Amino acid sequence: MARLIRNKQGTPCTLLTHFLNSPTSLLNHPYYNTSNRYLQTLAFEEIQANPNKPYTHTAFILHGLLGSARNWRSFSRSLASSLSSSPSSEWRMVLVDLRNRGKSAEIEGFDPPHDMVNETKDLGNLINSKNRGSPDVVIGHSMGGKVALQFAQSCGNIDYGENVKLPK
């Protein structure tokens, strides 16, 4: 839900309120396309600098132990904008809420143990369920970095099937 307000100079501003259980994003900044997706696997958000162009590259961004995908929105917008400045390159940033964190905490079905192997299986399931291909890059902070490394090792072993490839 959005409502129009005016700042001190009288210029219209948009105040955006996001409801936690909303299946679609309410954030539609003119320069960035942000959409929330909810799956039985993991919750995630997609950010793309130019929603009118098809993306050519994908980056998964994984948060740390006590974080969530929300922690990386500003960074992802800036990175997508910088990387997509070339006419032949359009990046899609996928901010993933790892199991039991962020919006993924609201999704049932994550059976114990909650370890790195299962965290990476969740990423493999996310890729297979969307059938959009593997990410070109996986960026992780802290625990997300460990998940990214385990994911790369598992992809190298073809643990998640042929659809999930080793990130470049």
Instruction: Dump pLDDT digits (tens) for 133-156.
Output: 789 999 999 999 999 999 999 988
Cβ within 8 Å of residue 68, ≥6 positions away:
97, 101, 102, 103
Instruction: Domain 23-156: give its CATH superfamily.
Output: Alpha/Beta hydrolase fold, catalytic domain (3.40.50.1820)
3-class DSSP assignment, residue 33? strand
Domain positions in the chain are: 23-156
Q: What's the mean pLDDT in 92-116?
A: 91
Q: What's the mean pLDDT in 114-138?
A: 89
Cβ within 8 Å of residue 10, ≥6 positions away:
none
Comparing 12-21, 33-42, 61-70, 93-102, which segment has the lowest mean pLDDT?
12-21
Residue 8: predicted pLDDT: 52
CA distances from 137 to 13, 20, 110, 129, 131 (A): 35, 28, 25, 19, 17
Q: What's the mean pLDDT in 130-135?
A: 80
- Which of 63-77, 82-96, 98-112 has the highest mean predicted lDDT (pLDDT)? 63-77
| DSSP string for 59-119 | EEEE--TT--GGGGHHHHHHHHHHHTTSTT--EEEEEEE-TTSGGGGGS---PSP-SHHHH
Question: Is the pTM higher than 0.85?
Answer: no
C-alpha to C-alpha distance for 9 and 67, rounded to whole angstroms: 36
Mean residue pLDDT of the chain comes to 79
* Contact predicate 18/29, CB 8 Å: no
